[in-house]
Structure 1
Amino acid sequence: MKPSSWQALSRVFVVFGLLWGSAQAQEATIKRATELREAPGDQAASRGALAADSSVARTGDRKGSWVKVRTPQGTEGWVHMFDLGSQPATASSNSTASGLRSVGGLFGGGSTTTATATVGIRGLSAEDIANAQPNPAAVTQAEKMRLSADQARQFASTAPLKPRSVETLPEPPRPASGNTAPSTDSTYAN
């Protein structure tokens, strides 16, 4: 083949690889049993349970830490991004990827690139704080997980943990009575 034919063939394989990779990126696995929600949020109505290790497809929609997915049956809903993992590699996907890497090696591409996913969660915005609502159910749930000091010591004794003495933090200054504005005291500012 002429060099231009090799270049054309390599471009075809690159395009095929990109298309194949983007199609594969849509597949995901549920990491732990969870609920498929009608809307992003723990309080949204459930559309059904999703078993751990079940497969779903990402739709591309995301709101905060919630990702919209589609089940193999076609039901769409929302799951928390921490319950969602990448699709596990199968023998066929491994052999396809391996074949693409081999073909790439013919055109001088000796190295491979592995895609990596990261999760970024921002802090609360002023709007989030202004629209915040009390959630007594979440407080009750958190209270149920509370441990006494004895229970914590018992747990620590089952693991290779060592006790440490930590100084108590000083109590922050209290605002003057009737003053509800945030303190401008720079004592705790960095």
Structure 2
Amino acid sequence: MKPMRVAVLGLGFMGSTHLRALGRISGVELLAVMDQDEQRLSGDLSAIQGNIGGPGQRLDFSGVRRYRTIDEVAADQDVEAVDICLPTHLHAPAALAALGAGKHVLVEKPMALDGAACDEMIAEARRRGRVLMVAQVVRFIPSYCVMAERVRSGQLGAVHSAIFRRRCAAPTWGPWEFDAAKSGGGVF
């Protein structure tokens, strides 16, 4: 079976994190990357830092197509899926462009800035018969998987409510994170 050919949009902290993950998944080929920063497009992500994980890295993008706009990615007939790791205010426009071009979409959380944009993305995915998935990764963290299995198995009895707290430092990968018009704010 041929690998699914993916483009990662946004080479900031989340994009570099997704690149590491994609490199460990069989059946996936990194075909393209998109960013507006020339240093990042060269594969030099060493300046990238975030609130989780380690420092940035240098990657070999010599066999990878490099784009500056979503329109270029959407026009690439070889890209089958996009992994959107852009600032939140760009999630819906990028997803709609990719879906409109017949590509599957994985989008970082939050999905979009408001419910109307989310509804539009869902409707477009259904209309095109494409997969649209939000990267809700916490459910795959081993400790959460163990807890979910214990609840499902009845080991904890009837669970009526639970409170979970996950703490980490505020993101530092871009000033847009603190601009509510671009990020949706801390709660959304």
TM-score w.r.t. length of structure 2: 0.23
Q: Which has the higher contact order (CA 8 A, sep 6+)?
A: 2
Which has more radius of gyration? 1
